Amino acid sequence: MEDFLVILLKVAAIYGGVIGTAALYTLAERKVAAWIQYRIGPNRVGPWGLLQPLADGVKFIFKEELVPAGANKLLFRLAPMMSAVPAMLTIAVVPFAGDMTLFGVDTFGAIAKIDMSAFYVVAIGGLGVYGIILGGWSSNSKYSLMGGLRASAQMVSYELSLLLGILSIVVVSGSADLYDIVDAQSGAIWRWNAFQQPLAFGLFVIATFAETNRHPFDFAECEPELVAGFHTEYSSMKFALFFLGEYCAMIVMASLTTTFFLGGFEVPFWADAPWVIQLAAFGAKTAFFLFLFLWVRWTLPRFRFDQLMSLGWKVMLPLSLLNVFLYGALTSFGAFGD
Amino acid sequence: MLSQYGPILILIALVLGFAAGNLVISELLGKKTSAIGKADAYECGMGSIGNARLRLSIHFYLVAVLFILFDVESLLLIPWAVSAKFFEAQGVGGIVFTEIVGFVAVLGIGLAYVWNKGGLSWDR
Amino acid sequence: MAETLFYLLSIGAIACGAGVIRARMPLFSVLCLLGAFFCLSGIYLLAGFQFLAVTQLLVYAGAIMVLFLFVIMLLNLGDENEIARQSGIALSGKQLAVAGTSAGVFALIGVLTAGYGIAPVETASTRASGIDELQTLAVELFSRYMLPFEAASLLLLLTMIGVIAIAKRQRAGEPTHTGAGFPWTKEPLDEESTL
């Protein structure tokens, strides 16, 4: 019974934490944009505008639901859910901290610890593409359709690089369990996969930008060409769900980059740190990647769509394959035999 | 198996409840008004022209099939990736790696062929 | 608990399967198929096959269904009114009777042979963990089934050639694009891309 309560507590805490972070992240996006452009940003609701996300949420709830004429009513309502739910489900296996004891129950700092967690995230996260295609298609608007299709072609193209990057990490770690992958990077800081596999690190980070439809690859909502892309016709909470899903996906991707390449929750040179410190270390590393998403968005110009597809298929895919080969050969001939 | 995946079931219930709840609440609380042209698809203020169910480019088909192929390839590499260290410890790392090289080399040839035919270029 | 889940997932899979053939819009068929794949991967998990479950989600639900969606939109089968008028498989009473009888026969065969052939399935649920399962699979795949494994790559290669043959069909009078796209061949000027 206590076990069950602890599990419930963990699920609620992690899910609540991620949703809360996503809400604050929307504020951070506007604040960072403002700072980069030498403005102030939202500062009216609460101290430093901290309650802005809450105000936005309330406003979204009371906004009018608009279903465009000729739209497929059922799919139009389902699409935001199909976009947000997979992103929120991927947080289930992210290891936020190591072993811990809560109320006398020995447990670990993730919702679930499964053997194939490294591939679970790709398998579930990849399903987010349906929400975008269907959202774009069911709106009965040309902009939406084009945005949705572009985004889906982009997401499947870059999912390969993501998968191959994970594969090369798994080869070296010898396990597909995220906890084992983190373990393999414990101890000295140069044991982090970012230093062991710099090429895979670079490719993975680029692929996370494309997977989450973020700048410079945000063709799903390419404003100058497609108004707002696949969610042009969406309003109120349905619109908010698309965004919540996108921000959750970004948080998950940042967490995964941390887990795969920056040693996850491990504190360098302090193998058995208490879980609170591990959680803080994880948060700090993830925050860097979250900031990177914003920094890049307000700094770089956007790609052109054919350039994006060329980059994905002609550069990222061959390089990812080569990288898997390289580390496969090193592992197979005993270079990592420790 | 159930003890491993049980918490995910709880999360699924929570996430579905959260998403559906949000949609239902805003559907109930949001105001409803109607006006001429309000439900039209947005096309920069002008009346919508034609049907939005466009036929799409053959490129999307090409990309989807290529994605499946490389997805299957990565998937077949997963058993090897997980056990590469095990094979190395058993002293058969080189042999198994040669098999992998043979497998991926054939697909590499395929990629080069598609590339040569212009299948990877979006604009033609 | 596991048994209840199994029955729930089975009912879900069957209902989704029925939805696939009953749906009037091709798009809903695809969504129903997606639901069926979900239920199936849940059943695989209950039986202890984690790799199979991930395969189901990654390849079938993640990749093949995207292709189906694209093809449906490619052929412009999306318009609901159009489809409702044209096809929409409405099963007649006779067809339903045939389908029901054959399903019943299969169920009967399944029940009658339950004691004989499915021993491996029973032992599967007692496997220790997914990694052991994967390692066993890898050992088998790279020793006894080495040839089929290599042949699979040939099959994938053939698919690649096939898809190029379909998608890049030359029309009379069009210039060939062989060699285009490689970085070392001189590219013609970029045209405005459509989507």
Residue B89 counted as domain residue: yes
Q: Which residue has the higher pLDDT, C25 or A242?
A: A242
Residue B41 counted as domain residue: no
Residue B53 counted as domain residue: no
Check: complex ipTM more than 0.90? no
Name the band, by pLDDT with cuts 50, 70 and 90, for residue C79.
low
Identify whether residues B21 and B67 lie together within a single domain.
Answer: no
Q: How does pLDDT run across C61-77, given as a tens digit for each residue?
A: 888 888 888 888 777 65
Q: Is B76 on the interface with A (CB under 8 A)?
A: no
Helix B2-29 to helix A73-89 angle (10° resolution) is 140
For residues C7-22, average pLDDT: 89
Q: How does pLDDT run across B44-63, given as a tens digit for each residue?
A: 767 666 666 666 777 888 88
Identify whether residues B65 and B111 lie together within a single domain.
Answer: yes
Residue B12 counted as domain residue: yes
Q: Which residue in this structure is represented by tokens 């239920």?
A: C39
Q: How does pLDDT run across B67-110, given as a tens digit for each residue?
A: 999 999 888 899 888 888 888 888 888 888 888 888 888 888 88
Q: In chain B, how many domains are there? A: 2
Name the band, by pLDDT with cuts 50, 70 and 90, for residue B22.
confident
Residue B121 counted as domain residue: no
Q: Which residue in this structure is represented by tokens 């749906």?
A: C23
Q: Say if residues A211 and A162 touch (Cβ distance below 8 Å).
A: yes
Owning domain of residue B67? 58-116
d(CA A219, CA A155): 10
Residue B66 counted as domain residue: yes
Identify whether residues B68 and B28 lie together within a single domain.
Answer: no
With CA atoms as reference, report the closest residue to C64 among C30, C40, C18: C30
For residue A37, the SS3 value is coil
Q: Model's pTM, two decimal places? A: 0.85
Q: Is A53 on the interface with B (CB under 8 A)?
A: no
Closest-CA residue of C relative to B121 is C181
Residue B124 counted as domain residue: no
- Contact criterion met (CB < 8 Å) for B61 and C74: yes
Helix A117-125 to helix A142-173 angle (10° resolution) is 170
d(CA A220, CA B25): 27
For residues C28-39, average pLDDT: 89
- Contact criterion met (CB < 8 Å) for C146 and B99: yes
Strand partners of residue A267: A270
d(CA B92, CA A102): 44
Indicate the residue type of A315.
V
Residue B97 counted as domain residue: yes
Identify whether residues B28 and B62 lie together within a single domain.
Answer: no
Per-residue pLDDT of chain A (338 residues; tens, 9 = 90+): 778 888 888 899 999 999 999 999 999 998 998 989 888 888 888 888 888 888 888 888 888 888 877 777 888 888 889 889 999 999 999 998 888 887 778 888 888 888 888 998 988 988 888 888 888 888 878 788 888 888 888 888 899 999 999 999 999 888 888 988 988 888 788 888 888 889 999 999 999 998 888 878 877 676 667 777 777 778 788 888 888 888 999 999 999 999 999 988 888 887 778 888 889 989 999 999 999 999 998 888 888 878 888 888 889 999 999 999 888 888 888 776 55
Helix C26-47 to helix A128-138 angle (10° resolution) is 170
Q: Is A141 on the interface with B (CB under 8 A)?
A: yes
For residues C7-32, average pLDDT: 87
Number of B–C residue contacts, CB under 8 Å: 166
